[in-house]
Structure 1
Amino acid sequence: MSGLPGRTEVLVVGAGPVGLAVAVSLAGHGREVTVVDKQAAGANTSRASVVHPRTLEMLERIGVAKRLTELGRPVEQFNIADGDRTLVPVRFDKLPTDYPFVLMIPQSTTEQVLLERLEELGGTVHRPSTATDVRQTSDGAEVTLESGEVIQAQYVVAADGMNSRIRDLAGLGFTGGDDLLPLNFTLADVRVESGLPEDEVLLYFSRPGMLVAAPLPDGSFRLVAEVDDAPEHPDVAYAQKLLNARGPQETTARVTEVVWGSRFRIHERVADRYRDRRIVLAGDAAHTHSPAGGQGMNLGLRDAVTLGDALAEALTTGNESDLDAYAINNRAEAVRVVSLAHRLTRLATAPSVLRPARNAGLHLLAHVPAFRRTLAEQLSALGHR
Structure 2
Amino acid sequence: MTGTALPETTRVAIVGAGPAGLALAVTLAQSGIDFVLVDRLAEGANTSRAAVVHARTLEVLEELGAADQLVARGLQLSRFTVRDGARRLLTVPFTGLPTRYPYALLAPQYDTEDVLLTRLRELGGDVHRPYEVTAVEQDADGVTLTMSTGEHLRAAYAVGADGMHSLVREAAGIGFTGGAYGQSFVLADVTMEWAPGPEEVALTFSAAGVFVVAPLPGNRYRVVATVEEAPAEPDRAFVQRLLDERAPGQARVDELVWSSRFRVHHRVADSYRAGRLLLAGDAAHVHSPAGGQGMNTGIQDAYALGRAFATGDLDQYEARRRPVAQQVVAFTDRLTRISTATGPLRALRNTILPLLGRLPAFRRSVATNLAELNYR
TM-score bucket (shorter structure) = over 0.9
One-letter amino acid matched to 1:109: D
1:136-194: per-residue Cα shift (whole Å, max 9, x none)?
A: 233321111111111111111111110001110111232x4x51111221111110135
Q: Distance in 2 between matches of 1:173 and 1:161?
A: 14
Q: Classify the secondary structure of the residue corresponding to 2:295.
A: helix
One-letter amino acid matched to 2:271: R
Residue of structure 1 in register with 2:213 after alignment: 213
Q: Classify the secondary structure of the residue corresponding to 1:261.
A: strand
TM alignment of 1:194-209, pairs within 5 A: 195-209=195-209
Q: Distance in 2 between matches of 1:81 and 1:172?
A: 40
Q: Distance in 2 between matches of 1:84 and 1:286?
A: 37
Residue of structure 2 in register with 1:339 after alignment: 330
One-letter amino acid matched to 2:284: A
- Length, aligned pairs only: 374
Q: Classify the secondary structure of the residue corresponding to 1:237.
A: helix
Residue of structure 2 in register with 1:28 after alignment: 30
Q: CA deviation at 1:58?
A: 1.3
1:193-245: per-residue Cα shift (whole Å, max 9, x none)?
A: 35341111011123333221100012110111111221222222221122222
Q: CA deviation at 1:14?
A: 0.5
Residue of structure 2 in register with 1:261 after alignment: 259
Residue of structure 2 in register with 1:191 after alignment: 191
One-letter amino acid matched to 2:329: V
Match of 2:272 among 267, 271, 274: 274
Q: Distance in 1 between matches of 2:344 and 2:228?
A: 16
Contact in 2 for aligned 1:196/1:253 (Cα 8 Å): no
Check if 1:234 corresponds to 2:225. no
Check if 1:117 corresponds to 2:119. yes
TM alignment of 1:82-93, pairs within 5 A: 82-93=84-95
Q: CA deviation at 1:354?
A: 3.0
One-letter amino acid matched to 2:341: A
Check if 1:99 corresponds to 2:97. no
TM alignment of 1:37-52, pairs within 5 A: 37-52=39-54
Q: CA deviation at 1:356?
A: 2.4
Residue of structure 2 in register with 1:67 after alignment: 69
Gaps of 5+ in 1: 315-321
Q: Classify the secondary structure of the residue corresponding to 2:314.
A: helix
Q: Classify the secondary structure of the residue corresponding to 1:209.
A: coil
Residue of structure 2 in register with 1:318 after alignment: none
Match of 2:142 among 140, 145, 162: 140
Farther off after superposition, 129-138 or 370-379: 129-138
Contact in 2 for aligned 1:25/1:309 (Cα 8 Å): yes
Q: CA deviation at 1:60?
A: 1.1
Q: Distance in 1 between matches of 2:173 and 2:348?
A: 45
Check if 1:368 corresponds to 2:344. no
Q: Distance in 1 between matches of 2:301 and 2:338?
A: 27
One-letter amino acid matched to 1:114: L
Q: CA deviation at 1:134?
A: 1.6
Q: Distance in 2 between matches of 1:41 and 1:221?
A: 25
Residue of structure 1 in register with 2:301 after alignment: 303
Q: Distance in 1 between matches of 2:14 and 2:273?
A: 14
Residue of structure 2 in register with 1:170 after alignment: 172
1:334-382: per-residue Cα shift (whole Å, max 9, x none)?
A: 0111010111110111125532221111122112221111111111111
TM alignment of 1:13-24, pairs within 5 A: 13-24=15-26
Farther off after superposition, 135-144 or 197-206: 135-144
Q: Distance in 2 between matches of 1:130 and 1:323?
A: 26
Residue of structure 1 in register with 2:225 after alignment: 225
Q: Distance in 1 between matches of 2:340 and 2:84?
A: 13
1:65-124: per-residue Cα shift (whole Å, max 9, x none)?
A: 111111111110001012332111000011110000011111111111111111111111
Contact in 1 for aligned 2:13/2:157 (Cα 8 Å): yes
Q: Classify the secondary structure of the residue corresponding to 1:43.
A: coil
1:287-325: per-residue Cα shift (whole Å, max 9, x none)?
A: 1111111111110000011111111222xxxxxxx3111
How large is the Cα RMSD of the aligned pairs? 1.5
Q: Distance in 2 between matches of 1:227 and 1:353?
A: 21
Q: Distance in 2 between matches of 1:19 and 1:276?
A: 18
Contact in 1 for aligned 2:144/2:154 (Cα 8 Å): yes
Q: CA deviation at 1:5?
A: 0.4
Residue of structure 1 in register with 2:129 after alignment: 127
Normalised by the size of structure 1, how large is the TM-score? 0.94
Contact in 2 for aligned 1:207/1:246 (Cα 8 Å): yes
Q: Distance in 2 between matches of 1:218 and 1:377?
A: 28
Gaps of 5+ in 2: none
1:237-264: per-residue Cα shift (whole Å, max 9, x none)?
A: 22112222223x5x54211111111111
Contact in 2 for aligned 1:208/1:352 (Cα 8 Å): no
TM alignment of 1:277-292, pairs within 5 A: 277-292=275-290
Normalised by the size of structure 2, how large is the TM-score? 0.96
One-letter amino acid matched to 1:121: L
